[in-house]
Structure 1
Amino acid sequence: MSFVSVYAEREPSRSELDRSSGPILVEFGASWCPYCQAIQPVLERELAAHPQVQHLKIADGKGHRLGRSLAVKLWPSLVFLMDGRVVERLARPSSSEIHEAFQQFLEAVAQARSQFPD
């Protein structure tokens, strides 16, 4: 799946994420957040290089339960999930931290798939 440039109108529930399958990057932030805007080109490059990772872009803020359930405190926050389980999380990451997290995440995905092939 490719990079998503617009924040979702509806956020999934935590139980929906817990039941999800495959590698997912959940990005929490706000359209007006300068830190969130700054990482967009980095995320776009990483997701283009790794199309097997589903990208969910979630507008976070007061009254949004999903972010609270995943301990989001700063924007942007990136939560990497594999089959509904949190593998990695980053808060207000640098470009190099995002790249490194993708590499570690993809290694974990490959390892999980080799242990439990379809």
Structure 2
Amino acid sequence: MQGSIKADQFTFKNEVIDADGPVLVDFWADWCGPCHALAPALEEVAEEMAGRAKVVKVNVDEDRMLAATYQVMSIPNLLIFKDGEVVDNFVGVQPKEAIIERLEAHL
């Protein structure tokens, strides 16, 4: 069983940019209530999509450079990367099924 992976400015390239297949990146913060509400659904997505897609979490307070690079202004902010490029972006709490549907569109 594979859950989400934590990434920072040092591991982001390896975990996201150079990854095979789509990667959902969750930009979040400890103080963000909606981020905590979304977390269980993201863990389920990571487990259900294991081997086909990856879920990576980036704490915006710990990695302000990454948040700035991808112009994250509101959180939770979910970006889907494929082949190193952002191919989808959505903000706010989403149902697990909607997240999976958006990821599957990039398989």
Question: TM-score, normalising length from structure 2?
Answer: 0.77
Match of 1:37 in 2: 36
Aligned to 2:87: 87
Higher helix share: 1
For residue 103 of structure 1, what is the amino acid of its counterpart? Answer: E
Pairing of 1:26-105 with structure 2 (within 5 A): 26-51=25-50, 52-61=52-61, 64-95=64-95, 98-105=96-103
Q: How far apart, CA to CA, are the structure 1 residues paired with 2:69 and 2:17?
A: 11
Rg comparison, structure with higher value: 1
Separation in 1 of the partners of 2:81 and 2:31?
25
Cα distance between partner residues in 2 of 1:61 and 1:89: 20
Greater mean alpha carbon deviation, residues 17-26 or residues 38-47: 17-26
Per the TM alignment, residue 22 of structure 1 is displaced from its structure 2 partner at its CA by 2.1
Aligned length: 104
Q: Which runs of 5+ in 2 are unaligned?
A: none
Which residue is equivalent to 1:115?
A: none
Q: Normalising by the residue count of structure 1, what TM-score does the alignment of the two structures yield?
A: 0.71
Q: RMSD in angstroms over aligned alpha carbons?
A: 2.5
Query: In 2, Cα distance between the equivalents of 1:62 and 1:43?
Result: 20
Q: Which runs of 5+ in 1 are unaligned?
A: 110-118
Which residue identity lines up with residue 36 of structure 1 in the other structure? C
8 Å contact from structure 2 (residues 45, 55) kept in 1: no
1:108 match: secondary structure: coil
